[in-house]
Amino acid sequence: MDFVIVRDGLREIYVEKGCIKEIILNPRVYGVPGAPQDILGILFHEDMPVVIRRIGDGEPVCAVIMNGQQESRWGIAGEPAGEESIHSEGLVHVMPGIWEKCSDKTEQQGI
């Protein structure tokens, strides 16, 4: 599989290229009062609100907009860290189109 690697603090996520709608550098993300801690906020993309999830504890510099079902959009925030073609063996599926290397911490944390 072909992946885009996204980092947020110490966490590294593998995003399937085929599931990416767009990568936006320096996105304008609006905080949402009362949102769960894993929600960074909302940005507007193509006149649609997109919920951006936090994957770690770093300072995100991009938003990866994922293709959603029925025109819904969601994404993750982080820092682009490259591309890689690898087999999904040794990776844990944590969300649609998003993987992480296997570790005890991965299964406890989730996204």
| Model pTM score | 0.82
Q: Residue 104 pLDDT > 80, yes or no?
A: no
HEC string of the chain equals: CEEEEEEECCEEEEEEHHHEEEEEECCCCECCCCCCCCEEEEEEECCEEEEEEECCCCCCCEEEEEECHHHCEEEEEEEEEEEEECCCCCEEEEECCEEEECCHHHHHHCC
- CATH at residue 73: 2.40.50.180
pLDDT on residue 87: 83
- Domain hosting residue 79, numbered range: 2-109
Give the chain's domain count: 1
pLDDT digits 0-9 by tens, 57-85: 888 899 999 987 656 689 999 998 999 88
Name which of 7-21, 35-49, 61-75, 89-103 the model is least confident about.
Answer: 61-75
pLDDT digits 0-9 by tens, 8-25: 888 899 999 999 999 999
